[in-house]
Every structure is written in C-alpha cells, then in structure tokens.
C-alpha cells in the first residue's frame, strides 16, 4: 500500500525523492499524495476528539458564565485561586529541588560505574515508567499511614510518629518518587558526555577538587539540569492523581482545584481559564528548554522525558 | 585518594537508598494483597487469597477489570491501525503544513492530563458521550496514538527502501511488497507501539475519572474511587494484578524495540 515506486520509472528518479522533482502529473506524485492521505483517519480522530474539545474549552473560558476576560481576571484577584496557584508553584518547585538533589548524585554514580552496574541503576530508575501509576499511588497511601512503615521506621530512630498522609511532606515524598526518572535521564545523558580530562586539567593546575567541580564540571552539566528541572516542574504543575490521593483537599493543588471547579461547581469557564493558563505555562517552559538545550543529546533526553510524561 | 574512595562509598550507599525508595513502594502491594486481614497492615499477621477471591468474584471489581481489558484491546486495534497508517504518511511524504501535523501527533503527550480531561469532559457532555463505550474508546485512542506513530515512524526511519524497490522491480504488486517486505521489517516497531497503546489505555486514570459513569468504570477509576471512599484491601489484589499485566507488557515492548535495533 505504501510502495510509491513504479517499475517503468528510471531508478534514479524514484531513488532520490525531492532531489529530482518529478513532473506534476507523474504517477509517482499521485502515489505520494496517496500515502499522505493515510494520515487522514488519525488526523480526523485527533481533531474531533482533541483539538475541537480544547478549542471549545478555550471558548468557554471567555464566554461562560458571561463574555469577557472575567475568568482570567479571577486567576489574579480571587483569593482562593491565587492561594492554590501559589501553593502549586511552591510544591512543584520543592519537588523539582528534591528531585535535583537526589538525581544529580545518582546520575553521577551512573556515570562512574560501568557495564552491568550502570544497567541495574538505569533499570531501577525506570521502574516508575514500567509500573501502573494507580498501583504506586495506592502503595504510597499505605506506606504513609499513621501506623504505616515510614512512620514506624521514623519511630524506631526516635523521630516519629509524624503525620504524613495529607501533608506537604507526604505529597513531596510520593511525587518526587514518581518524577525522579524525568530528572535522572536528562542529567545522566549530559554527565555521560562531559570530558573528564577537563576536570583533571583543572586539578593538575592546582584547583582543589571542590573548586574543579564547581567551576568546570557543574557548568558543563547545566543543559541536562535545565532540561530535567523543566520537565519535573511542568509535570508537577499539572499532576492530579498522586496529590489527590496522598494530599488533602484543604491543601489542594491546581489540577485538583480544576477538578473541583468542574465536578462540584460546574464552572467550566473558570476551569477553562485555569486549564489554559496551565497549558500556556507548560508550552512556554517546554519551548524554552528546547531552545536552551540545543545539543543533540539533551534534546533527545527531553524528548524521551516528554514522551514518558503521558504515563504520569 | 582516600577521600575519593570515601566519596565513592558514600555514593554507593546513596544509590542503594534511592533504589529502595524507587522499588519498595512499587512492590509493597504484593505482600499486602496476600494478607488475611481486612486492613492494610504490614507485615500482615496472617496470609490468604481472600482479596483475590473478592477481586475476581465481586461484580464491581470484576466488571471494571473486564471493561478495562476490552477497552484496552479495542484502543490497541484502533490506535495501531490508524497510527501505523499515519506514520507512513509522516515518514515518507512532505506536504504543506506537515510540521503542524507532526505537532498534532505529539500534542496529547505534552498537554497536561488534567487539561485534556476537562476539555474532553466538557465536549463529551455536549455530545452525549460521557460514560459511553464510544467516548472511552475515542478518548483513550487520542492518548495512545502518539505512542504508535512515534514507534512506527522510528522503525520506518531505519528502513532501507531499496528493498521495496527491489521487490517492485522483481514484479511484486504494491500490496505484496508491503506484506512480504515492508511489514515484516517494521513489525517490531508496530508491536512496540501496540503494547504501549494497550498499557496507555489500561493504566489511564485522569481522563477516565472525568468521563466515567456509575455504570461504566475502568479498573484504575474503580481503584481511585476505592482509595477515596472506602477501606477495602481488595485494592491491593487489584494493584498486584495491574502491576503484573502492565509491567509484563511494557517489558515485551522494550524487548520488541531492542529487536528492532538489532534488525
């Protein structure tokens, strides 16, 4: 079905599409157009069930309950909305920092060890990609209970019991675990590409190890850190499942707030404005990091991370 | 030298701790699912299969499992067929506005789940698709399509088209060439895409939560409602079943992708 060559055409022409532009009415041209048409059913599905609903929501955000930008103005004037937005930004930033502090040494360890160990470390960090989000979130609910394992462990070292379920600490612990791969993968990709002789050169010129790390190694790893931090930030801002189940309604994040607007208040206009704002922030951050990290390796890492995002 | 060794040792300990943090919460549901008690206590003081018995006999759990399996199968077929066709168009032709179409196929991956969910819910309310099989198939197919196109496009990118021309030159029809040359070579990519499509539908929570109805719930939705509304340890058995199914399929997908690389 997808074969565009026809036996009568000279091989050179069929072999180099684009280099020798065929005449307008050639059979080959018709065949190419036929292949392009194969995308039509999928495009129709995406347009009808994805693009149209998205545009409808955008339309609702400026027309419901009344025409105008009232829903957007509420994002900066309504006390509850402002609190939720600020809390979400704070949580996302905290999860990003926790992920970075854990992922950087982990990725560094991955770049030090070789062969089998590296494979094992990679497999472990990919576990969140491999397992059902709902199952893992349920597991966190069990672990973080008042008499759960985490609390009993804290108790034995004399730190507990602490309330974790429904608190910021509990949500951070669970969310950071889900987000960690999105930080480790881009950071590791960048660290692997750093030429260690540059650090050796700094050391041989008399720099102390800390200085060599801070002035040579750390700046070189920046593209991976930027890519990972953006991904974790973006995914955390819109995260729904884990904060809903591990957190509390009183400390709700943006996605939960949007869900309440829709399900309990039937306020599609307000929910639409919140959703549009979240989408704009997401696109700006993703676009920005694509521009920042133009090197091939880190862009591939970003791509892989974005693709994995749908699993969250 | 001594400090370098201390650093390495410290890093190794740190790596083990992070590993535990990633692995333990995933596996903890397995022992709990075999508990003989009506709570989530760990470690359980008695063992039994009763949570599995409940899961596979009580209608609300069993129905949602069957709904999820059927839905995932239909979505896999729809997304794999449409996505593979689209991948041919994207990989082998160029036309005005192709960049936009490429972006359209990646958009469901980038747009936050909650935004997709609210948009679809609002539209589906108007179209009478909330809580209907058609609505679920449409919603999950949108989310699964990108995984198929990404995998098949990658397979086509590494494809040597002289093979097709050779088949055509030897007199094979377009269809024969596709069936006996093209398809076998890109099969690993299609298979990986199909498995990803299945798991995407089978594990999907957010959109399904919005378009669910009391009569039509997927298993992840049933689990979400269970965590929110009740203390029912059957969910531990449900989690274990889901873990086994989705992890096994993603494992297959990754093997399939690796085969493609060697091919």
Distance CA B80, CA B88 (A): 12
pLDDT computed for residue A27 by the predictor: 55
pLDDT computed for residue A166 by the predictor: 84
Distance CA B195, CA B102 (A): 22
The Cα-based distances of A277 to A61, A270, A283 in angstroms read 11, 11, 10
Q: Does B248 touch chain A (CB under 8 A)?
A: no
Give B-chain residues touching A47 at CB under 8 angstroms.
Answer: 104
Residue A9, pLDDT above cutoff 50: no
Chosen for mutation from A59, A126, A131 (greatest number of chain B CBs closer than 10 Å) is A131
Residue A311, pLDDT above cutoff 60: no
pLDDT computed for residue A8 by the predictor: 40
What percentage of chain A exceeds 70 in pLDDT? 83
pLDDT computed for residue B263 by the predictor: 46
Q: Which of residues 46-75 of B touch A (CB under 8 A)?
A: none
Residue B137, pLDDT above cutoff 90: yes
Distance CA A118, CA A112 (A): 8
Phi, psi angle pair for B44, to nearest 5°: -65, 145
Distance CA B38, CA B46 (A): 11
Instruction: Record the pTM.
Output: 0.85
Q: Do B121 and A37 touch (CB under 8 A)?
A: no
Residue A3, pLDDT above cutoff 60: no
Q: Do B178 and A3 touch (CB under 8 A)?
A: yes
The Cα-based distances of A310 to A241, B144, B185 in angstroms read 13, 9, 28
Q: Does B152 touch chain A (CB under 8 A)?
A: no
Q: Do B119 and A309 touch (CB under 8 A)?
A: no
Where residue A28 falls among pLDDT bands split at 50, 70, 90? low
Residues A54-58, mean pLDDT to the nearest whole number: 94
Q: Does B241 touch chain A (CB under 8 A)?
A: no
Where residue A30 falls among pLDDT bands split at 50, 70, 90? low
Q: Do A238 and B224 touch (CB under 8 A)?
A: no
Residue A6, pLDDT above cutoff 50: no
Residue A83, pLDDT above cutoff 70: yes
Instruction: Report helix, strand or coil for B52.
Output: helix
A to B CB pairs, distance under 8 Å: 281
CB B159 within 8 A of CB B185: yes
What region does A187 belong to: left with phi over 0, alpha with psi -120 to 50, or beta? alpha
Give B-chain residues touching A139 at CB under 8 angstroms.
Answer: 25-26, 28-29, 239
Distance CA B32, CA A139 (A): 10
CB B82 within 8 A of CB A45: yes
Place of tokens 């032709």: B93
Query: Across the strands, what pairs with B47?
Result: B35
Where residue B65 falls among pLDDT bands split at 50, 70, 90? very high
Q: Which domains does chain A have, with CATH numbers?
A: 39-311 (1.10.3720.10)
Q: How distant is the Cα of B24 from the closest Cα of chain A, in angstroms?
A: 9
pLDDT (tens digit, 9 = 90+) per residue, A239-287? 999 999 999 888 899 999 999 999 888 889 999 999 999 999 988 988 8
Residues A9-19, mean pLDDT to the nearest whole number: 42
The Cα-based distances of A105 to A58, A96, A112, A280 in angstroms read 42, 15, 10, 32
pLDDT (tens digit, 9 = 90+) per residue, B183-224? 998 998 999 999 999 999 999 999 999 999 999 999 999 999
pLDDT computed for residue B255 by the predictor: 82
Mean pLDDT for all residues in chain B: 89
Compare B61 and A154 and report the one with higher pLDDT: B61
Q: Does B184 touch chain A (CB under 8 A)?
A: no
Instruction: Report helix, strand or coil for A160.
Output: coil
**DSSP string covering A105-123:** HHHHHHHHS-THHHHHHHH
Which two tokens mark B189? 């990519």
What region does A221 belong to: left with phi over 0, alpha with psi -120 to 50, or beta? alpha
Where residue A131 falls among pLDDT bands split at 50, 70, 90? confident
pLDDT (tens digit, 9 = 90+) per residue, B216-234? 999 999 999 998 888 788 9
pLDDT computed for residue B37 by the predictor: 81
pLDDT computed for residue A10 by the predictor: 40
pLDDT computed for residue A22 by the predictor: 47
Distance CA A136, CA B56 (A): 21
Among the residue ranges A108-117, A143-152, B161-170, B233-242, the one predicted with the least confidence is A143-152
Residue A5, pLDDT above cutoff 70: no
Single out the residue of A40, A284, A5 nearest to residue B165, CA to CA.
A5
Q: Over the Cα atoms of chain A, what is R_g?
A: 25
Q: Across the interface, which of A46, A56, A140 has its CB nearest the CB of B25?
A: A140
Q: Which domains does chain B have, with CATH numbers?
A: 59-262 (1.10.3720.10)
Going by the DSSP 8-state scheme, the letter that residue B217 receives in this structure is: -
What's the complex ipTM? 0.89
Q: Does B166 touch chain A (CB under 8 A)?
A: no
Residues B29-42, mean pLDDT to the nearest whole number: 85
Instruction: Report helix, strand or coil for B117.
Output: helix
Distance CA A270, CA A246 (A): 25
CB A209 within 8 A of CB A203: yes
Distance CA A89, CA B100 (A): 31
Q: Across the interface, which of B85, B94, B247 has its CB nearest the CB of A130?
A: B247
Name residues whose C-beta falls within 8 Å of residue B210's C-beta, 6 or more positions apart in sequence.
A259, A262, A263, B117, B118, B120, B121
Most confident of A228-242, A294-308, B45-59, B133-147: B133-147
pLDDT (tens digit, 9 = 90+) per residue, A155-210? 888 776 788 888 888 999 999 998 999 999 999 999 998 888 888 899 899 888 88
Q: Does B149 touch chain A (CB under 8 A)?
A: yes
Give A-chain residues touching B64 at CB under 8 angstroms.
Answer: none
Q: Which of residues 204-233 of B touch A (CB under 8 A)?
A: 205-206, 209-210, 220, 223-224, 227-228
């Amino acid at each position: 079905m997808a074969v565009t060559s026809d036996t009568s055409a000279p091989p050179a022409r069929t072999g180099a599409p684009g280099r020798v532009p065929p005449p307008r009415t050639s059979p080959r041209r018709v065949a190419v157009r036929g292949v392009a048409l194969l995308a039509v059913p999928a495009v129709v599905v995406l347009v009808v069930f994805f693009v149209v609903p998205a545009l409808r929501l955008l339309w609702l955000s400026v027309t419901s309950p009344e025409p105008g930008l009232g829903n957007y103005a509420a994002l900066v004037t309504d006390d509850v909305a402002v609190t939720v937005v600020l809390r979400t930004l704070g949580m996302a930033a905290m999860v990003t920092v926790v992920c970075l502090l854990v992922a950087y040494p982990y990725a560094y360890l991955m770049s030090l060890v070789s062969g089998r160990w590296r494979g094992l470390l990679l497999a472990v960090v990919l576990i969140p990609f491999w397992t059902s989000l709902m199952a893992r979130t349920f597991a966190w609910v069990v672990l973080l209970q008042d008499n759960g394992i985490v609390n009993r462990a804290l108790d034995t070292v004399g730190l507990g019991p602490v309330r974790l379920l429904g608190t910021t600490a509990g949500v951070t612990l669970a969310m950071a675990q889900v987000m960690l791969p999105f930080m480790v993968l881009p950071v590791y990709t960048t660290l692997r590409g750093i030429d260690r002789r540059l650090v050796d050169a700094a050391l041989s010129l008399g720099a102390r190890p800390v200085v060599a790390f801070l002035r040579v190694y750390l700046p070189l790893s920046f593209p991976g850190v930027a890519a990972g931090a953006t991904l974790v930030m973006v995914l955390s801002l819109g995260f729904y499942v884990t904060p809903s189940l591990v957190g509390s309604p009183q400390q709700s994040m943006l996605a939960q707030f949007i869900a309440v607007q829709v399900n309990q208040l039937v306020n599609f206009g307000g929910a639409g404005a919140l959703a549009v704002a979240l989408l704009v922030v997401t696109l700006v951050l993703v676009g920005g990091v694509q521009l920042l990290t133009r090197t091939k390796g880190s862009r591939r890492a970003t791509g892989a991370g974005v693709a994995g995002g749908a699993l969250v | 030298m001594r400090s370098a060794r201390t650093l390495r040792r410290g890093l190794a300990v740190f790596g083990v701790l992070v590993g535990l943090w990633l692995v333990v919460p995933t596996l903890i549901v397995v022992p709990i699912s075999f508990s003989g008690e009506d709570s989530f206590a760990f470690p359980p003081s008695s063992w039994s299969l009763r949570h599995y018995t409940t899961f596979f006999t009580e209608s609300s759990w069993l129905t949602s499992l069957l709904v999820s399996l059927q839905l995932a199968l239909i979505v896999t077929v729809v997304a794999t067929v449409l996505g593979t066709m689209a991948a041919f168009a994207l990989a082998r032709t160029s036309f005005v506005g192709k960049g936009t179409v490429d972006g359209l196929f990646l958009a469901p991956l980038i747009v936050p789940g909650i935004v997709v969910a609210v948009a679809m819910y609002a539209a589906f309310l108007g179209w009478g698709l909330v809580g209907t099989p058609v609505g679920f198939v449409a919603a999950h197919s949108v989310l699964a399509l990108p995984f198929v196109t990404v995998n098949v496009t990658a397979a086509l990118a590494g494809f040597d088209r002289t093979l097709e021309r050779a088949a055509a030159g030897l007199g094979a029809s377009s269809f024969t060439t596709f069936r006996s040359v093209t398809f076998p070579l890109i099969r690993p990519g299609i298979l990986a895409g199909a498995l990803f499509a299945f798991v995407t539908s089978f594990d999907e929570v957010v959109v399904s939560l919005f378009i669910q109805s009391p009569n039509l719930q997927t298993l992840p939705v049933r689990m979400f409602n269970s965590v929110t509304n009740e203390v029912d340890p059957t969910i531990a058995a449900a989690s274990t079943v889901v873990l086994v199914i989705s992890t096994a399929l993603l494992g297959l997908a990754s093997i399939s992708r690796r085969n493609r690389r060697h091919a």
